[in-house]
Structure 1
Amino acid sequence: KFSKSVASKYHESTPAFTKDGNTMYFTRNNYLNGKKGKNSEQTILLKIYRAKKEGDKWTNIEELPFNNNNYSVAHPALSADEKTLYFASDMPGTLGVSDIFKVSINADGSFGTPVNLGNKINTEARETFPFISKDNELYFASDGHPGLGGLDVFVTELKDDGTVGSIKNVGEPVNSSMDDFAFIIDTKSKRGFVSSNRKEDNLGYDDIYKFLETASIPKDCEQQLKGIIVDFDSQEPIVSATVTLFDNSGNKLKTVTSDANGKYDFGTVECDTKLKIRVEKPNYNTNEITAIIPNKPGITESKITLELTEKPMKPGDDLRKALGIDIIYFDLDKSNIRPDAAVELAKIVEVMKQYPNMHIDVRSHTDCRQTAKYNEALSDRRAKSTIAWLVKNGIAKNRLTGKGYGESQLVNDCGCEPTNQSNCSEEQHQKNRRSEFIIVKL
């Protein structure tokens, strides 16, 4: 039996003890040292107090610093390492009627700043009565998550990286159509207690029930999500890229930085989910991919490429490829510049104006239809036509050379020799009717 210093004339409940049994956190109406506190509506709310055991007596009772007369703070629960206190409150920052918060307990016995556990756990309704098992599972009561009726008991895993697992209803017979709450369990013996106002065998308003867990609640299926960030062109690892993970609704989950080998690791994520990974790095274009996480334990790896915003150019490069310009196509048996080709050639002109010392060799190619001799002459006309268009649009002729290569450098297996016939589609043939712009001098 507790002394009157703990057991006052008001309500006390939900004590949480340290492992050595010498410190207790408990809930009480706003009453200490014979004085009661009320909010602006003259209501006595709930506060959490701490008491120390000296010999056989509980002394040094003090209220925690984040209590307040204008909102309730209640139902303390200690983490397994006793470095974090979980509790329920309707303090500012609450998402619903009441939420579950956590606060760090410092080595000197002081406290950090309370932190809301977020909208994965807390809803617009009531979340209350937290309990942390020795396996670092958070049990809590809620009438905001889908349940059997009233307050139900739910459980989630508290992960080492600060995230939480999926929210699971512990189900019948712990939960009923009425209010079920204040769940505690000894994970070693599998025995525990829960409070409920269920009607079928209730002796009062809220009764305490005992139970034996006969089947463990399945653990979350987890995947490790990791990968590497590389340069699009060189395929070399990119160091110190910012890699951010989002859920499918766009909510940010975690941000990491690629290491000296370009690798990133988000740790464990839930199975059977769709996530987005965004990679950012100065001087590179941002890239975002979708990661499909399978519904089985394992590892999901994603290789993500980044392209330089402005790619360095050097002699021997194809200017078209370096700038990401669309292929300059020609119609069958034609050497005139098409309107779509003129749009892309204008980009070549702009770059050559930015680099007045740049010299380009225009290399024109045909598909295989017609004879090799004919195609060589056709491609030569196309090279000359391309050079003429560039000169007409402001590029000095002495900066341009060109040659036709006919069908000698096909980019696919659409050859026609010796019959001048092919089963390839028009689209496949068109890929061979192209021009290249090789940087000769820069």
Structure 2
Amino acid sequence: MKMKTLFYSTIFSILALQSYGQKAGIDAANKKYERYAYIDAIATYERIANKGYKNESMFQKLGNAYYFIADLPQAEKWYSELFAMNQNQEPEYYYRYAQALKSIGNYPKAEKMLEEFNKKSDNDLRAKLYDKNKNYLEKIKANSGRFDVSDANINSIYSDYGSSFWDNKLVFASARDTGGVSKKVFKWTNQSFTDLYVSEIKAGGEMGKPERFNKKINSKFHESTPVFTKDGQTMYFTRNNYLEHKKGKDTKQVILLKLYKAILKDNKWGNVTELPFNSNNYSVAHPALSPDEKTLYFASDMPGTLGQSDLFSVAINNDGSYGAPVNLGKEINTEGRETFPFISADNELYFASDGHPGLGGLDVFVAKIKSATSFDEVQNVGAPVNSAQDDFAFLMDTKSGNGFFTSNRTGGKGYDDIYRFLERRKLTCEQLLSGVITDQETGEALGETTVSLFNDQLELVATIRTNSGGKYEFDVTCGKTYSVRAEKDKYETKEEKIVISTIAGKTELPLHLEKRIKLIEVGTDLAKTLNIPVIYFDLDKSFIRKEAAFELEKVLAVMQEYPKMKIDVRSHTDSRQTAKYNIALSDRRAKSSIAWLIKNGISPDRLTGKGYGESQLVNRCSDGVKCSEKEHQANRRSEFIIISID
């Protein structure tokens, strides 16, 4: 009995020691995690996890730690363990898990996670973007294949990233260790702090041997992502909060990032100053200059940021001072990470984001700049620049189409690698909208037909006349919605809406016109004769919608052709509403139709009209009778009865 008791006591002691050891290990790892020492935290967490210990909070932090150091395949492993333990997680974990799943090519499961993220997120911009662009993979595919990509041949086994043109040279950040025996290590990744290096871009495209950029610029902390003015005399760059041998920390004792400016004088870089909108309490990084060098763009998590980091712009005044930073807004920024801006000579904003729909991790996106905070549609630049991993720091000479970007994709030499590319074709997707206008009855091609193109706001884009074969053509933009209107003497005007494909090519829209000359006499209802649908009034409204006014133009054309014709406008409703309400509504509609015709040149003494409400139903759908929407619609009609024609 004593032996048995001793045996159980020993087991309990071992279990207690194991439990104590696991708790102590997790506590130690948590402290490393909170200090952003992710590599060290991962080592401790994984040592405990590999012994079979399962803990929801530990799996969250393990997944996050790998996510934050951009090792998404490993993040997927631990997020999978997390969701296996408990499917009910905060929305952000669904999004990160989806990004991690993309990194291993599991897009079907990633889509499921994004659907759940969408359900759990009320106003998250990333959820709205996903819901709006569920065919995003098709759009990315359409944008892909435009670049030839190759290794830049300047990479080390460490992290190399964030390049910039400086005359005929490429300046970039690297964690390669070219110093002495001792080196400072960045705890986030356990790599050396980055310095700036420079490599000559030779005539044939070959890259020179990378060399340290400048001792006055490089410090014992991070330097990265420079940008130079066109004259090469001024440089903006990112550095840790460190100036004149003094380092600054935030309230958590973390040394954040700041932007600095340096001047080249007598071939020596100096006069390093920090920009006035820096702070010890948030990071400001990754500068980019507008083509006119009057605006500086950058990434930051300063107050007013929508997500983990946003893109901002700031005016550079003529006297060298700076305006107030302006957030680029919800067209660009999301609750995720927007970072590494670059402004091309064509005034296009390229940036990296994991908030807009992409292939996984950070992807490179582009949007044409319309104003300080207004942009054209954000587009993913596609593969092979983008991959399932992090792709960022896009840089391009728009004249030659040559450029560089950074990625941690599989097959690279180091932690991050710089790749070079040649753009073979522009991203702009162009479509040709064409068709043939014919007679509806005979099929005869109708030359000299006026064809008008309207955008989705019903603004006139262009007007042409068909050739002898009845053909028309318009250059249009991919993915946009247009309306095409065809008009010809003695034919009814016809208009159709068309959505243009998102892939470059040709869209056909033939239109068949109906002859206007028909037998009309006193008592004829022009609405029936001219096939006018009751579509020019919104439900329960009495104003004529802009896009449907051309239906009334048919009546207008007949009355212009017969200047003595008089019309009685009769408006009817269905039975859904009270009789009193329907009388009033139909009467307002009749008066609106009359007012429109008068405004367009018809004398008031040629027009009469009133509303009849639900008093003249054409079918059984009276009060209390269950009818289909189509049956009710038959009762909602306008009549244009000819009461005199001579």
Q: TM-score range with shorter-chain normalisation?
A: 0.5 to 0.7
**More strand by percentage:** 1
Once the two structures are superposed, the pairs formed by residues 127-276 of structure 1 within 5 Å of their partners are: 127-159=338-370, 163-200=374-411, 202-218=412-428, 272=480
Once the two structures are superposed, the pairs formed by residues 288-367 of structure 1 within 5 Å of their partners are: 295=500
Q: Which residue of 1 aligns with 2:220?
A: 9
User: Distance between the aligned counterparts of 2:239 and 2:303, measured in 1?
Assistant: 20
- 1:303-322: CA deviation from partner (whole Å, max 9, x where unpaired): 79xxxxxxxxxxxxxxxxxx
Q: Which residue of 2 aligns with 1:81?
A: 292
Q: Is the 8 A contact 1:16 1:77 kept in 2?
A: yes
Q: Is the 8 A contact 1:411 1:432 kept in 2?
A: no
Q: CA deviation at 1:163?
A: 2.0
1:21 paired residue among 232, 239, 242: 232
Q: CA deviation at 1:430?
A: 11
The 1:430/1:5 distance shift into structure 2, 3 A limit, reads closer
TM-score in terms of structure 2 length:
0.37
User: Distance between the aligned counterparts of 2:608 and 2:259, measured in 1?
Assistant: 75
Secondary structure, aligned partner of 1:158: strand
Q: Confirm or deny that 1:95 pairs with 2:306.
A: yes
Q: Is the 8 A contact 1:96 1:123 kept in 2?
A: yes
User: Distance between the aligned counterparts of 1:59 and 1:174, measured in 2?
Assistant: 35
Q: CA deviation at 1:273?
A: 5.5
User: Distance between the aligned counterparts of 1:428 and 1:37, measured in 2?
Assistant: 75
Q: CA deviation at 1:140?
A: 0.6
Q: Is the 8 A contact 2:429 2:478 kept in 1?
A: no
Q: CA deviation at 1:136?
A: 0.8
Q: Is the 8 A contact 1:271 1:293 kept in 2?
A: no
- 1:76-97: CA deviation from partner (whole Å, max 9, x where unpaired): 0000000000100000111110
Q: CA deviation at 1:176?
A: 1.1
Higher Cα Rg, which structure: 1
- 1:330-350: CA deviation from partner (whole Å, max 9, x where unpaired): xxxxxxxxx959x98xxxxxx
Secondary structure, aligned partner of 2:296: strand
The 1:432/1:108 distance shift into structure 2, 3 A limit, reads same
Q: CA deviation at 1:2?
A: 3.5
Q: CA deviation at 1:107?
A: 0.4
Which structure 2 residue ranges, 5 or more long, are not aligned? Answer: 1-211, 432-455, 458-476, 483-496, 502-544, 548-568, 573-578, 585-604, 610-634
Q: Is the 8 A contact 2:363 2:387 kept in 1?
A: yes
Q: Which residue of 1 aligns with 2:282?
A: 71
- 1:146-165: CA deviation from partner (whole Å, max 9, x where unpaired): 11111111111112585211
User: Distance between the aligned counterparts of 1:96 and 1:82, measured in 2?
Assistant: 27
User: Distance between the aligned counterparts of 2:277 and 2:326, measured in 1?
Assistant: 11
User: Distance between the aligned counterparts of 1:78 and 1:108, measured in 2?
Assistant: 17
- 1:267-320: CA deviation from partner (whole Å, max 9, x where unpaired): xx997259xxxxxxxxxxxxxxxxx89759xxxxx979xxxxxxxxxxxxxxxx
AA aligned opposite 1:159: K
User: Distance between the aligned counterparts of 1:194 and 1:94, measured in 2?
Assistant: 25
Q: Which residue of 1 aligns with 2:253?
A: 42
- 1:184-236: CA deviation from partner (whole Å, max 9, x where unpaired): 01111111111111122x11101111111122211589xxxxxxxxxxxxxxx
The 1:53/1:429 distance shift into structure 2, 3 A limit, reads closer
Secondary structure, aligned partner of 1:159: strand
Q: CA deviation at 1:5?
A: 2.1
Secondary structure, aligned partner of 2:237: strand
Which structure 1 residue ranges, 5 or more long, are not aligned? Answer: 222-245, 248-268, 275-291, 297-301, 305-325, 330-338, 345-407, 413-424, 434-442
User: Distance between the aligned counterparts of 2:245 and 2:425, measured in 1?
Assistant: 47
The 1:126/1:293 distance shift into structure 2, 3 A limit, reads farther
Q: Which residue of 1 aligns with 2:329?
A: 118
AA aligned opposite 1:20: D
Q: Which residue of 1 aligns with 2:241?
A: 30
The 1:101/1:219 distance shift into structure 2, 3 A limit, reads farther
Q: How many residues end up aligned between the 2 structures? A: 268
Q: Identify which range, 209-218 or 109-118, moves more after superposition.
A: 209-218
Q: Identify which range, 159-168 or 30-39, moves more after superposition.
A: 159-168
AA aligned opposite 1:88: A
Q: CA deviation at 1:114?
A: 0.6
User: Distance between the aligned counterparts of 1:161 and 1:2, measured in 2?
Assistant: 33
User: Distance between the aligned counterparts of 1:219 and 1:429, measured in 2?
Assistant: 45
Q: Which residue of 1 aligns with 2:624?
A: none
The 1:410/1:52 distance shift into structure 2, 3 A limit, reads closer
Q: Which runs of 4+ in 1 moved over 4 A?
A: 292-296, 326-329, 408-412, 427-433
1:59 paired residue among 270, 291, 294: 270
Q: Is the 8 A contact 2:328 2:372 kept in 1?
A: no
Q: Which residue of 1 aligns with 2:451?
A: none
User: Distance between the aligned counterparts of 2:420 and 2:638, measured in 1?
Assistant: 74
User: Distance between the aligned counterparts of 1:210 and 1:96, measured in 2?
Assistant: 30
User: Distance between the aligned counterparts of 1:13 and 1:74, measured in 2?
Assistant: 9
Pick 1 or 2: higher relative contact order, CA cutoff 8 A, min separation 6.
2
The 1:340/1:100 distance shift into structure 2, 3 A limit, reads closer
The 1:219/1:113 distance shift into structure 2, 3 A limit, reads farther
User: Distance between the aligned counterparts of 1:193 and 1:430, measured in 2?
Assistant: 67
User: Distance between the aligned counterparts of 1:208 and 1:214, measured in 2?
Assistant: 19
Secondary structure, aligned partner of 1:189: coil
Q: CA deviation at 1:168?
A: 1.1
Q: CA deviation at 1:127?
A: 0.6
AA aligned opposite 1:272: K
User: Distance between the aligned counterparts of 2:243 and 2:639, measured in 1?
Assistant: 89
User: Distance between the aligned counterparts of 1:29 and 1:57, measured in 2?
Assistant: 22
User: Distance between the aligned counterparts of 1:22 and 1:430, measured in 2?
Assistant: 75
AA aligned opposite 2:425: A
User: Distance between the aligned counterparts of 2:606 and 2:380, measured in 1?
Assistant: 65
Secondary structure, aligned partner of 1:5: coil
Secondary structure, aligned partner of 2:311: strand
